[in-house]
Amino acid sequence: MIDINLIRENPDLVRENIKKKFQDKKLPLVDQVLEDDRRRRELQQEGDALRARRNALAKSIGQLMREGKKEEAEQAKAQSKSNNDRIAQIEQECVEVEQNLKKAMMMIPNIIADDVPIGKDDSENVQGKVFLEPKQKPFEVPYHLDILESLGGIDLDSARRTSGNGFYYLTGDVARLHSAVLTYARDFMIDKGFTYCIPPFMIRGDVVSGVMSFEEMDGMMYKIEGEDLYLIGTSEHSMIGRFMGTVLPESSLPQTLTSYSPCFRKEKGAHGIEERGIYRIHQFEKQEMIVICKPEESDYWYEKLWNYTVELFTSMEIPVRQLICCSGDLADLKYKSCDVEAWSPRQKKYFEVGSCSNLTDAQARRLNIRYKNEKTGKNEYAHTLNNTVVAPPRMLIAFLENHLQADGSVYIPEVLRKYMGGKDKIEVKKA
């Protein structure tokens, strides 16, 4: 949610930002906000004047009664009742105006960074840096599910019976590899100075609406029937919500946290949930990075965060690149964002394995996350950022394809061997 003062002082900037995101249908929201804001202030002024008048009348009624001026006192009482009735009307109208204003404000997208490329959708995202040159395999790389099955590492049929499409059982050394990568990612981030956390896996509705837009919420979140609780789509939701309604000491910033959680996603409207394989699923596990910092530090942390993901993947000898998200591919709360994509030897192209976002103060305003400025003594909104450290199973797909050997075994890089009991490869499982 952006600052109401920005809409008051520079509505044309807000309109231009909406156009850059190709959301012209939201342009009327700017005028709606301005009108609701004007009406709110008008009602507040009228209400304040009536309350002052009510207080004055209360004093005068007593004085008139003491002076025996009953008729004038009765007139003052009637005027006071009329004022009270109007005050009640104003308070009710203020509630309605406030609700409409907040709803409209939450639908207006965050102002994007000046260096965000302008484009309608993800097809117009821009390639950034490339890390590690992809190596061509001297043999044909099978589909990732075939690799998993040859290693005895997956059971989709049983998962369909127990849970439906979009779920799987991992088994044996593949399940161990899955856990090994998550454990390595945890230790990697701890070594970078981040505090490790395991958050609640369910959050309330006010946290959900604070961390994401309505469109994202509808397309992602599973709601617990009969309760004000949602399963988290990523630990970022719970981790940012932890600071809701708090005022942090400036000396405590930046908060640098890394969190593990399972993630649950409806993937509503997404392509591929019915497809054979594990690229897009309803449940997975992830290691995440979260930073809460002062506004002047968020650009610095944005660059630092996505580069940590690059460092992690390249340490596992997986080629990756940065993909800069264009304006039309940015969710409403995002100031800027980029994906880290891993090389697929089978498809001979890159695919997303992580995403880094700077949301400036958009989440902080929704959740009222502030810090006390030591120089001014004022409470100011913090900036929030999040980034994927690693998210199996997409990581597994990149790992298996890049480390597949000609004999069907999968090579284990040095950094993971201590988490794999010293194994340097996963062998094909004999029939």
Q: Which residue has the higher pLDDT, 405 or 218?
A: 405
What DSSP string describes 284-328?
EEEEEEEEEE-GGGHHHHHHHHHHHHHHHHHHTT--EEEEEPPGG
Would you call the peptide bond into 254 cis, given omega within 30 degrees of 0 as the criterion? yes
Pairwise CA distance, residues 112 & 359, whole Å: 9
279-332, pLDDT tens digit by residue?
A: 888 999 999 999 999 999 999 999 999 999 999 999 999 999 999 999 999 999
Q: Which CATH number fits domain 122-426: 3.30.565.10, 3.30.930.10, 1.10.4080.10, 3.40.225.10?
A: 3.30.930.10
The length of the chain is: 431
Pairwise CA distance, residues 308 & 35, whole Å: 45
- For CATH 3.30.930.10, the residue range(s) in the chain are 122-426
Pairwise CA distance, residues 73 & 57, whole Å: 9
Q: Domain 4-107 - what CATH class?
A: mainly alpha
Query: Is the CA virtual torsion 168, 174, 176, 181 positive or negative?
Result: negative
- For CATH 1.10.287.40, the residue range(s) in the chain are 4-107
CB environment 100-126: b (16+ within 10 A), e (fewer) = bbeebbbbbbbbbbeebeebeeeeebe
Say yes or no to pLDDT of 71 above 90.
no
- Of the pLDDT bands very low, low, confident and very high (cuts 50, 70, 90), residue 58 is confident
User: 312: how many CB neighbours lie within 10 A of its CB?
Assistant: 25
Percent of the chain predicted with pLDDT > 70 = 97
Average pLDDT over residues 47-72: 79
Residue 103 has what DSSP assignment?
A: H
User: Mean pLDDT over all residues of the chain?
Assistant: 92
Chain centroid to CA 155: how far? 31
pLDDT of residue 271: 53
Pairwise CA distance, residues 392 & 395, whole Å: 5
Pairwise CA distance, residues 88 & 302, whole Å: 48
